[in-house]
Amino acid sequence: MTDTLPADLMALLTELDAADHDLEALTSDLADSVATCRPATGGWCVTECIDHLATANEAYVTAMRGPAQRALEGGRHRRGPARPGVLGAFFVWMLEPPPRWWAYLPMPKTLAPAPAPPLATTLPKFRTSQDGIRSFIRSYAAVDLAGVTFPNPFIRGVRFSLATGLNVLTAHQRRHLLQAWKARRSAEGTQAALGGGAA
């Protein structure tokens, strides 16, 4: 039952819900021709942003699940809120929108999205990945999320606390959903210009 979770975990679930609602607003009336149109200035289209988020969600949860399960079985019980430490909080902040040029993080090749995938495949993939994060939070609510670490799946030799990992995911979603909105507006502008030129 989510109403029995501590406030900090409920806040994470609320952030996941907010991302879902933002995605629904972004895509509910969106044609594939717009969703798969890359901005004229370069960058990902809407569906590439969504695919990237789903892939990152799945990779983080997969990396986090083993350490979390071992901690649960070993009695590493919750000692405080699931908040990142100082370094973890700084990493989370770097992911928050808007992007900061001086805090650019190179993207691992394994996180590259499929080229212009259709909405019909990207939306279910993202929703499934979101359910995976929710399931993780509920399953390991009793674990010391701020004290147990896991290997970052994309940065060799770096370990994050489970709390940092969860906060990275929600910040990462805000970052790329903003990018997806910008891609939509660019695509709509491009199509309007083409339509106007043909009229």
Q: Which domains does the chain have, with CATH numbers?
A: 2-191 (1.20.120)
What is residue 2's predicted lDDT score, i.e. its pLDDT? 47
Q: Give per-residue burial for 161-179: e unless 16+ CB within 10 Å, then b.
A: bbbbbbbbbbbbbbbbbbb
Q: Report d(CA 63, CA 125) in Å as an integer.
A: 18
What is residue 101's predicted lDDT score, i.e. its pLDDT? 56
Q: Give per-residue burial for 53-76: e unless 16+ CB within 10 Å, then b.
A: bbbbbbbbbebbbebbeebbeeeb
Q: What is the average per-residue pLDDT within 110-120? A: 93
Q: Report d(CA 82, CA 137) in Å as an integer.
A: 10
What confidence category does residue 12 fall into, taking pLDDT thresholds of 50, 70 and 90? Answer: very high
Residue-wise pLDDT tens digits, 54-108: 999 999 999 999 999 999 999 999 999 999 999 999 999 999 988 765 556 677 8
Q: What is the average per-residue pLDDT within 179-186? A: 95
Asked which of 22-36, 105-119, 124-138 is least confident by mean pLDDT, the reply is 105-119
Q: What is the average per-residue pLDDT within 37-57? A: 95
pTM over 0.85: yes
